[in-house]
Copies of this chain bind each other. A is one copy, B any other.
Amino acid sequence: MENRNPFELLAKSSRSKARRGRIHTAHGDIETPIFMPVGTLASVKGLSVRDLREIEAQIILANTYHLYLRPGTPLIAEAGGVQKFMGWNGPMLTDSGGFQVWSLKDFRHITEDGVEFKSLLDGSRHKFTPESVMKAQREIGADIIMAFDECTPYPSTVEEASHSLDFTLKWTRRAMDWLAENPPLHGYPQYFFGIVQGGMHKELRKKSIEALKELAPDGYAMGGLSVGEPVEIMYEIADFCTNYLPEDRARYVMGVGTPWNLLELIQRGVDMFDCILPAKNAQDGLVYTCRGVLRYKGAKFAHSHDIPLDPECDCYCCRNYSRGYMRHLFKAKEPLGWTLSTIHNLHFYLKLMKNARAHIEAGDYEDWAAEMIPQLQRNAE
């Protein structure tokens, strides 16, 4: 496979590992550090493409496992790729589904060849191999596609984590071999990211990175983080990994996290993030604001007629609706409430990333992050 690199390193902090970069794709450039809203089934919960543009989403994440089951990846290929299918003419990334089939626990069987599993939708039997998952990702047609990995549970012994890592490395090699033989279907490049595993064992993380470097994927993800370990260990492992990852390639921590997690990880040299947290929390009546975490379903907010969720926010929700009305929508289970609070939370994450980029450029990222992190963590009134 040709050696390609969509990532351009634009600037580096002199005081930390924070980086400012750009990822070039056929559907547009992505400014990093970036957060990717999750659209598992080719839809970001309740948000239209106009909403996504308005919150300045740059890249949307979808999931191969879910799209394989519904509507089926050949159908997405027939539509001309997931961007056309969902009416989003911008960059996309697909997760391979490794984590999802692994999570099926009692309904999957893992062998060196791949994973057999039973669909929870209709009980039908399926098998994912590194090759079949790459084929599915070719059909979906995201701009960035991910290795099929075997996840490592937390906690795990060195032996367990090592065994799991061996599978991931073998599968990554097979995936890259298959991709080299089978070009993209939709007329534009698909960049392949390898996934660093190894649990919380630094020597295995290092081994994983060294083996991946030899394979030279187009970018690097760190998997198996935020799986139950203390947050300080998560920071430490990511920090350790970025010491060994090639500086000229994009670095993506998968499935993390809170706004302050993102700021901590940016400082440790990470470029890309995704997480269901902002959308999920929005459904639960929890929003992130410049003044901290706001649980707006509290009774006291019923009378907040003149203040939006976040007084310093310029998202569609905060420009048009009060906390009192948002609380009413939440209590009445009105779908508009879920959509509006999801718009707010995703906009908040994307604005935070935009500010992070500006502060890296201005050279004061570390001061800004140190000030922001405790503000973000407190309870908003």
Q: Are the CB atoms of B79 and A305 closer together than 8 Å?
A: yes
Q: Chain B residues with Cβ under 8 A from A44's Cβ?
A: 336
Is A50 located at the chain interface by the 8 A CB criterion?
Answer: yes
Report which of B70, B302, B325, B336 forms a contact with A46, defined as CB distance below 8 A: B336
Is A87 located at the chain interface by the 8 A CB criterion?
Answer: yes
Q: Chain B residues with Cβ under 8 A from A86's Cβ?
A: 325
Report which of B47, B75, B320, B332 forms a contact with A41, defined as CB distance below 8 A: B332
CA of A66 to CA of B87, assembled, Å: 37
Report which of B46, B75, B80, B325 forms a contact with A335, defined as CB distance below 8 A: B46
Is A96 located at the chain interface by the 8 A CB criterion?
Answer: no
Q: Chain B residues with Cβ under 8 A from A75's Cβ?
A: 302-303, 324
Within 8 A of B (CB), among A28-54: 41-50
Q: Are the CB atoms of A339 and B46 closer together than 8 Å?
A: yes
Q: Chain B residues with Cβ under 8 A from A79's Cβ?
A: 305, 322, 324-325
Q: Are the CB atoms of A87 and B320 closer together than 8 Å?
A: yes
Is A109 located at the chain interface by the 8 A CB criterion?
Answer: no
Report which of B71, B87, B331, B334 forms a contact with A45, defined as CB distance below 8 A: B334
Q: Chain B residues with Cβ under 8 A from A303's Cβ?
A: 75, 78
Is A191 located at the chain interface by the 8 A CB criterion?
Answer: no
Q: Are the CB atoms of A85 and B325 closer together than 8 Å?
A: yes
Is A313 located at the chain interface by the 8 A CB criterion?
Answer: no
Q: Chain B residues with Cβ under 8 A from A84's Cβ?
A: 305
Q: Are the CB atoms of B302 and A71 closer together than 8 Å?
A: yes
Q: Are the CB atoms of A339 and B331 closer together than 8 Å?
A: no
Which of A42, A44, A47, A336: most chain B Cβ within 10 A? Answer: A336
CA of A152 to CA of B320, assembled, Å: 41
Within 8 A of B (CB), among A297-336: 302-303, 305, 316, 320-322, 324-325, 327-329, 331-332, 334-336
Q: Chain B residues with Cβ under 8 A from A273's Cβ?
A: none
Q: Are the CB atoms of B45 and A335 closer together than 8 Å?
A: yes
Within 8 A of B (CB), among A1-49: 41-49
A interface, size bucket: 35 or more
Is A65 located at the chain interface by the 8 A CB criterion?
Answer: no
CA of A335 to CA of B45, assembled, Å: 6
CA of A363 to CA of B335, assembled, Å: 42
Is A200 located at the chain interface by the 8 A CB criterion?
Answer: no
Is A270 located at the chain interface by the 8 A CB criterion?
Answer: no
Q: Are the CB atoms of B48 and A87 closer together than 8 Å?
A: no
Is A340 located at the chain interface by the 8 A CB criterion?
Answer: yes
CA of A337 to CA of B329, assembled, Å: 19
Contacts A86-B325, A324-B79: A331 and B70 contacting too (C-beta < 8 A)? Answer: yes
Report which of B49, B305, B320 forms a contact with A48, defined as CB distance below 8 A: B320
Q: Are the CB atoms of B321 and A45 closer together than 8 Å?
A: no
A339: min CB distance to chain B, Å: 6
CA of A84 to CA of B337, assembled, Å: 16
Q: Are the CB atoms of B316 and A50 closer together than 8 Å?
A: yes
Is A338 located at the chain interface by the 8 A CB criterion?
Answer: yes
Q: Are the CB atoms of B305 and A80 closer together than 8 Å?
A: yes
Q: Are the CB atoms of A334 and B43 closer together than 8 Å?
A: yes
Q: Interface code A191-229, partner B: CB below 8 Å = 1, 0 otherwise?
A: 000000000000000000000000000000000000000
15 A/B residue pairs, CB under 8 Å, sorted by A: A42-B325, A42-B328, A45-B336, A46-B46, A48-B320, A48-B340, A70-B332, A71-B331, A85-B322, A85-B325, A85-B328, A87-B320, A87-B325, A335-B338, A339-B339
13 new A-B contacts, CB < 8 A, other than A42-B328, A50-B316, A75-B303, are: A42-B325, A43-B337, A44-B336, A46-B46, A49-B320, A70-B331, A75-B302, A78-B303, A85-B305, A87-B321, A87-B322, A87-B325, A335-B339
